[in-house]
Amino acid sequence: MTSIVVVGSVNADLVARVPNLPVPGETVLADSMTVIPGGKGANQAVVAARLGGEVALIGAIGSDAFADSALVGLRDAGVRLDGVETVDGPTGVAQIWVDDQGENSIVVVPGANRAVDADVVARHVDLVAGADLVVLQGEIPLRGTEAAARACGGRILLNLAPVVPVAADVLALADPLVVNHGEAERLLEESERPVPESPFAVITELLALGPRSVVLTLGPAGAVVLEPAAGDEGPVVVPTPHVEAVDTTGAGDAFVGALAYRISQGDTLVDAARTAVRVGAFSVATPGAQPSFPTVDDVLPSLRG
C-alpha cells in the first residue's frame, strides 16, 4: 500500500524570464527560457516525496520529446510511476512567463493529460483504493477526478485548481477542499452563492458547499483553515513567513504537497497547514516549480515545530 496517491497532470514547463508580463497585443523579449518538469499532479507528488512521503502518481505522458523531461523530477524524488501511462501524441506543456517581481502568467496545453479519464483510474484502482490519502486537482478530465474520488478507500484532498464542476457527492468527500481566493470566488459564483470580502466569510461559504473541511490559501498572507470535525470554533489563520519572492510558479503546489504529506503523517489540518505555508514560502525564493521544492532537510525545523 502506498500512503499517498496523486491522480493528476504531468507537464513539461517552458519557463521564460521576462522584464514584465505582456499585455494583450504587446511583444516582450525574454531574458532566458528553460524546460523543467511540472504539472500540478507531478508537482504535488514531488513535494510530498521530497519531504519523506511514500508517493505514487497516476497520470499520462505523450510519445514526444518532452515526455522524459516531464518525468525527471518525479524519478529523482522517488515517486512510484507504474501508474503513469504513455499515450500517442504530445505530453502536456505549460508555457510560463515570469517577470522581474516573480509574478507569473501560465498557459497550459493539456496534451496527454486529457487521457487520464475513468478508464485510466480503473486500470490502477488498487493503488487508489489502498491509499491512505488521494490527492486530486482540476487539470485532468473531470471523469478521471470523480472516478478516483469514488474509488478512494482513505481520505481525499481535493485541490480545485483550476475550478471544475465536480459532482456534489465528490465534493462531500473532500477532506480538505483546498482553493486559493480566486478559485474560491469562482467556485462560489458557479454555485450561485454569495462571495463575501472577508476570508473568514468566504471559507464559511465554501464549507456550506459540502466538503468536510476547507483550506483557503491567501498567498503571502498565509492560509485559513476550517475543520469542524476537529472541534474548532471557527476559521483558524495560519500566517506564512516573509520571503522575497523570486518566482511564485508552483507555490500553491508546494503548499498542497506539503499539506498532503503532513496529513498522511497524522497531523491535524491546522498543524499540516503550518508546515505547508513554510514549504510554500521556501519554494518562491528559487526559480522554477520542481527545482524550487525543498527536501526534508531544508524544512526540518518546521517539521519538528
On whether 286 is known to bind a ligand per the annotation, the reply is yes
Residue 60 corresponds to which cell in the numbers above? 499520462
Handedness of CA 7, 175, 190, 239 (dihedral sign): negative
On whether 30 is known to bind a ligand per the annotation, the reply is no
CA–centroid distance for 49 within its chain: 14
On whether 197 is known to bind a ligand per the annotation, the reply is no
On whether 42 is known to bind a ligand per the annotation, the reply is yes
**Residue 84 forms beta bridges with which residues?**
59
Among all residues, which ones are annotated catalytic? 253
On whether 283 is known to bind a ligand per the annotation, the reply is yes
Which own/partner contact pairs does 25-34 have at CB distance under 8 Å and 24+ positions apart? 28/97, 30/97, 34/288
231: left (phi > 0), else alpha (psi -120 to 50), else beta? Answer: left
Q: Is 106 exposed, middle or buried (0-12, 13-18, 19+ CB in 10 A)?
A: middle
On whether 219 is known to bind a ligand per the annotation, the reply is yes
On whether 89 is known to bind a ligand per the annotation, the reply is no
On whether 218 is known to bind a ligand per the annotation, the reply is yes
Asked whether the beta carbons of 152 and 180 are under 8 A apart, the reply is no
Binding site listing for substrate: 11-13, 39-43, 139, 253
Binding site listing for ATP: 180, 217-222, 252-253
Binding site listing for K(+): 247, 249, 283, 286, 288, 292
Binding site listing: 11-13, 39-43, 139, 180, 217-222, 247, 249, 252-253, 283, 286, 288, 292
